Structure 1
Amino acid sequence: MPIQRRQFLAALGTGATAALAGCSSVLGSSSGDAGVSGETLTLTTTTSTYDTGLLDALNEPFQEMYGVTVDSVAQGTGAALETARNGNSDVIMVHARSLEDEFMRNGHGVNRRDLMFNDFVIVGPADDPAGIEGMESATEAFATIADAGARFVSRGDNSGTHTKELAVWEAAGVEPGGDWYQETGQGMGAVLNIANEQDGYTLADRGTYLSQQSEIGLAILVQGPIEGGPERLSNPYGILAANPARHEDANYDLAMAYIGYVTSPQGQRVIADYTADGQQLFYPRALSEDPDFQQYVPEGWSSDESNE
């Protein structure tokens, strides 16, 4: 049996991202008692959304609006989905579509939405001992790092970033390993610090890198698509609710209220306006004049599969 959600949060040492808003919330005062005031929403999400500070900016208006608490558990995408799979999450915000699709196909998640995007960048020492600066191909850059035996620091944690990294190695025809390759099992912020200390290279999401840029000596050497780099380094984020038919303790109503908020014009403005040192970290993706039905279901889904 999965451990209780509150025990899980206590064991992890994770607190709420903001204090409980008062019961005289906007919703409660203007449209009657919605039955959620005072409740807690458990959000499992990636370290990048936490390390950049975006979650605080997103969660505070929601908590004030509904009079609730959002408990945010920052993990790699794989761990965040596993936490939800074990019944310890209400809503999941992650960035590895293949893992999200597997989670949904197995019946653990519902009502996925495209949320936002940034991109990945390859960062390393400013003197660039492997000589990858300015390369237009992520696979060529990875292969060059491997050929040079230059230090590469990997998340190694089944996160969205790690999933992307492994896909690039595979496309480059390289099986990483040996003294030059270090798997850490750490979050993005910690990995950037380790790579900085060891004069190593790493794959980072642009948002976390920009939020820590002033504290480390690493430079962007290969850009992602936001700055004209390879599309292979794109980094879309999705949000989905735990399936109440599979997880009866999931707070589905509050999860869907949160999904509605972060994909609304208000939530998307918070994402668009969030910056570090004057630089935008994430780009809203939920509002579109041409909505894509595929965002709601696993890629490749067809109605025939529902009968299998």
Structure 2
Amino acid sequence: MASRIPTRALTAGSRALFARPPAPSTPIAFSRAFHQTKTQRDRSNLLREFSLKDRVVVISGGARGVGLTQAEALLEAGAVVHALDRLPVPAKDSDFSRVAQRATSELGSRMTYHRVDVRDQKALGEIVGGIAEKEGRIDGLIAAAGIQQETPALEYTAEDSDKMLGVNVTGVFMTAQAVAREMIKRKQKGSLVLIGSMSGTVANRGLICPAYNASKAGVLQLARNLAAEWGEHGIRVNSLSPGYIVTAMTDSLFEAIPERRTAWPDANMLKRLSYPEEYRGAAVFLLSDASSFMTGADLRVDGGHCAW
């Protein structure tokens, strides 16, 4: 028998709930429509702790590679992104431009590019300060700028070592410092993510990069110390340590040293290399309220490489 709910018995909220679609003509159909509509109504609240809506995030090394991939994930989660890199302004047909265009046309957000060398403390401070002034806040940082050089220890020059540590440790430090200063100035909480590496925990068998590995160990220790200092301000600092990633750089490396194509995957428990997209979720997790009680920690995503 058909049933109807008297309009006068509904509250204003209930009338809005059942306005679309029209109330079905049977109790079973009505129940299904109720739960379907309620699900649609509540969907914006599902896993809301992962939302970065309207948060302002700075990403160094954000013009390409893993940094750009993570930037796109943050945009999808609702963040406004400011990418820092030492490269010239990305070309209109670049991956960066594609992501920036998607941010405005599809995601209702925006991504802005700033050219800077993270070793230039003065310029870095001015750019980050300008971002904070324009946006009125900075909520997060991914410090992903870094370089790599494979050279035997006996052949390493002091100049090369200084450059490696200057970008990978001092540059990360100064970027975190610039962002934290703006947060503390505004009495604002936030989350900083320093990109380390599994190479900061172990020595890579068959990969000759002593200065790089030392620099990434420095990043992990830096994150712990900054977390200890800035925790009282509500600023969380963690590191993210990827394993081997398939990039243009590793592809060219495999061309030069083909045996690594099989040796590297065999060194972890999943027997494969990772892809930049596999670190999207980690970035959102560490910057969002989903990790609100996590600081001074290293999130290692290495396929089990270091767990043997």
TM-score of the alignment, normalized to the shorter chain, above 0.5: no
Larger Rg: 2
Q: Could you say which structure has the greater relative contact order, defined with CA pairs below 8 angstroms and 6 or more residues apart?
A: 1
Q: Which has the higher strand share?
A: 1
Q: Which has the higher helix share?
A: 2
If the length of structure 2 is used for normalisation, what is the TM-score? Answer: 0.30
